[in-house]
Amino acid sequence: MKIGVFGDSYAERYWDKIWWRYLETQHGHAVTCFGQGGSSIMWSARQIEQHAAKFDFIIWCLTCPGRFSFRMTEHTYVHSTSVSSNLDQYNLTSDIKKKIQVSADYLKYVYDMHEETLVGRSIAHYFMQRYPNLMIIPCFADPLATEFNLYNLCEIELQHFFPGKKVWEVYQDYEEMRAGHLTDENHYILASLINKNLIPGIFQTQYTNFRIPTVPQDQVVSKKGTV
């Protein structure tokens, strides 16, 4: 089956050991991935509109509201969640820097979580109606408020090494080492679960289907270097 994969870092196209790769290597599907870390709901929606007709089946790892993506060149986009921490280390135009600053001010002064969640949920359900071969995998609790999402699975893994800490607290001192924020073993399991349920709609499963990490901590996260 020809499958198109879209979304954020949970569907990152540059990783080798990630669930969508196992759909190819272990389950025989022809997969093309467009995922980019930090990308927005609207950016993925545009990618789906552009490429959906090429595939028998579409998988969208739906990110959270409050993300922004800006076109820098004809084929290059900048995702504000990926660069906003330190703009000076990136080769950005003054126009892109201004847009990122404006989006940061919007999140600080204007952003309404309920309204943005409603917009994101509306887009997701509209796309499920428009593309009857679309599966959505929730990456975060918002906008769909489903029981299963990939962020929670990521947090379950990190709890093994950092009991009682939230993901964002861990990332204050450590950097991510996992492809797509999950261990290789759980990517393998996720691919198997997806392959068994290649049906349109919102993908859901049980967290108990996955494994607590057995790899050393430094294969999951590592201490951030000092600047």
Confidence label for 224 from pLDDT (cuts 50, 70 and 90): confident
**Could you give the CA distance from residue 190 to residue 156 in angstroms, rounded to a whole number?**
15
Condensed to tens digits (0 to 9), the pLDDT of residues 51-70 reads 999 999 999 999 999 999 98
Condensed to tens digits (0 to 9), the pLDDT of residues 71-106 reads 887 778 888 876 666 666 667 888 888 888 888 898
**226 pLDDT more than 60:** no
**Could you give the CA distance from residue 43 to residue 70 in angstroms, rounded to a whole number?**
9
The predicted pLDDT at position 185 comes to: 96
**Could you give the CA distance from residue 99 to residue 69 in angstroms, rounded to a whole number?**
10
Residue 183 φ/ψ region, left for φ over 0, alpha for ψ in the -120 to 50 degree band, beta for the rest? beta
The predicted pLDDT at position 83 comes to: 65
Peptide bond just before 143 cis, omega within 30 deg: yes
**19 pLDDT more than 80:** yes
Are the CB atoms for 22 and 188 separated by under 8 Å? yes
Residue type, 158: L
Confidence label for 227 from pLDDT (cuts 50, 70 and 90): very low
∠ CA 56-57-60 to the nearest 5 degrees? 150
Are the CB atoms for 57 and 2 separated by under 8 Å? yes
* Bridge partners, residue 175, by sequence: 222
Confidence label for 201 from pLDDT (cuts 50, 70 and 90): very high
∠ CA 156-161-162 to the nearest 5 degrees? 80
The share of the chain scoring above pLDDT 70, in percent, equals: 95
The predicted pLDDT at position 178 comes to: 94
Task: State which CATH number among 3.40.50.970, 3.30.365.10, 3.40.50.300, 3.40.50.1110 fits the domain covering 2-66+111-147+182-207.
Answer: 3.40.50.1110
How far is C-alpha 57 from the chain's CA centre? 18
Condensed to tens digits (0 to 9), the pLDDT of residues 106-160 reads 888 999 999 999 999 999 999 999 999 999 999 999 999 999 999 999 999 999 9
Are the CB atoms for 3 and 54 separated by under 8 Å? no
Q: What is the pTM of this model?
A: 0.93
Domain ranges of the chain: 2-66+111-147+182-207
**Could you give the CA distance from residue 14 to residue 39 in angstroms, rounded to a whole number?**
14
The share of the chain scoring above pLDDT 90, in percent, equals: 78
